[in-house]
């Protein structure tokens, strides 16, 4: 389908031309890319890409940047974004209705996977091994035998459900529920010599017997509750401050999954975790 500028749809002109270029590069539907009424909507688009193991990377020196594949650029004197490609790079595609400009490239973005190859295991079904709730970003974890999940909100009583999460942001995807594999905690100990209790990973659910990376961008059920795998729960510098040295390296691409909750309901220890497509 030819991707052109559309009548006003709640998108800013910048967001519209930027999104059209993303759709062209990824062969995606423009309607699936989040709209923004101001600017290019980096945060929303970033989370949308994260569900596909992709990230937007700003180009430091776009006027001299070279990339064998396609990337997004904006030229001096232009009123929107274009698709660049080649070594050296030139304008490869201009959305209909965009004035491309004729000066140097003044802004550039590359779409690339943060993980070229995610660790994977051939395990499609699993169970809940532990459930944790944290009253705020610095509170100790509370081990639960069951928990109530609130659609679009989080685990009842957890810091992200009550607005006290360290990375809390209204409307942000993937902050309602976090999961990590028990096998990842065991890998951290066996391969990196880092002994860390599962609670210190500060995830809501510890799983056993399922490949969480395979649920990225997929719907799945925790017990009876429908969830959506939104982005990887990569370890971060903030978590490293409260955990043993070596945690950050050992859990890269093994830090679990951030998910959105699509239905209200109870989960319990031992509940099954099953991809929706396999039900």
Q: Which two tokens stand for residue 109?
A: 């973005």
The pLDDT, as a whole number, for residue 272 is: 97
Cα 81 to Cα 67, 99, 110: the distances in Å are: 17, 9, 13
Sheet holding 82-86, edge to edge: 55-58, 105-112, 67-75, 82-86, 90-93
pLDDT in tens, 226-260: 999 999 998 877 677 877 788 888 888 999 999 99
Q: 139 pLDDT exceeds 90?
A: no
Main-chain phi, psi angles of 135, to 5 degrees? -65, -30
The pLDDT, as a whole number, for residue 8 is: 54
pLDDT band at residue 57 using 50, 70 and 90 as cut-offs: very high
Q: 264 pLDDT exceeds 90?
A: yes
The pLDDT, as a whole number, for residue 192 is: 92
The pLDDT, as a whole number, for residue 138 is: 79
pLDDT band at residue 2 using 50, 70 and 90 as cut-offs: very low
The pLDDT, as a whole number, for residue 279 is: 44
The pLDDT, as a whole number, for residue 121 is: 82
155 strand-pairing partners? 149
The pLDDT, as a whole number, for residue 136 is: 86
pLDDT band at residue 171 using 50, 70 and 90 as cut-offs: low
Question: Between the CA atoms of 233, 236, 241 and 247, what dihedral angle is there, to the nearest 10 degrees?
Answer: 70
Q: Tell which residue, 156, 180, 267, 169, has the closest CA to residue 229.
A: 180
Over residues 202-208, mean pLDDT: 97
pLDDT in tens, 61-115: 999 998 889 999 999 999 999 999 988 899 999 998 898 888 899 999 999 998 8
pLDDT band at residue 126 using 50, 70 and 90 as cut-offs: very high
Separation of alpha carbons 113 and 171, rounded Å: 24
Q: 268 pLDDT exceeds 90?
A: yes
The pLDDT, as a whole number, for residue 258 is: 94
Over residues 208-237, mean pLDDT: 93
The pLDDT, as a whole number, for residue 277 is: 73
Q: What is the mean pLDDT of the chain?
A: 89
Over residues 2-15, mean pLDDT: 70
């Amino acid at each position: 389908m030819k991707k052109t500028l559309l009548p006003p749809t709640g998108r800013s002109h910048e967001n519209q031309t930027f999104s059209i270029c993303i759709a062209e590069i990824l062969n995606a539907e423009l309607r699936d890319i989040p709209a923004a009424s101001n600017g290019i909507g980096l945060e929303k688009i970033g989370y949308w890409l994260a569900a596909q193991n992709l990230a937007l990377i700003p180009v430091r020196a776009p006027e001299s940047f070279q990339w064998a594949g396609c990337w997004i650029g904006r030229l001096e004197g232009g009123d929107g974004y274009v698709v660049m490609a080649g070594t050296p790079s030139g304008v490869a595609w201009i959305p209909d209705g965009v004035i491309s400009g004729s000066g140097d490239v003044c802004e550039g973005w590359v779409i690339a996977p943060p993980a070229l190859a995610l660790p994977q295991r051939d395990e499609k079904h699993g169970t809940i091994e532990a459930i944790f709730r944290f009253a705020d970003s610095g509170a100790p974890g509370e081990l639960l035998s069951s928990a109530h999940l609130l659609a679009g909100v989080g685990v009842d009583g957890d810091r992200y459900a009550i607005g006290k999460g360290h990375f809390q942001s209204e409307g942000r995807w993937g902050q309602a529920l976090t999961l990590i594999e028990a096998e990842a905690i065991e890998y951290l100990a066996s391969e990196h010599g880092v002994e860390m209790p599962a609670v210190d990973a500060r995830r809501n659910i510890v799983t056993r017997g399922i490949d969480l990376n395979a649920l990225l961008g997929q719907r799945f059920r925790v017990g009876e509750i429908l969830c959506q795998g939104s982005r990887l729960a990569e370890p971060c510098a903030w978590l490293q401050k409260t955990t043993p040295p070596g945690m950050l390296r050992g859990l890269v691409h093994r830090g679990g999954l951030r998910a959105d909750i699509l239905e209200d309901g109870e989960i319990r220890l031992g509940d099954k975790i099953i991809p929706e497509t396999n039900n």
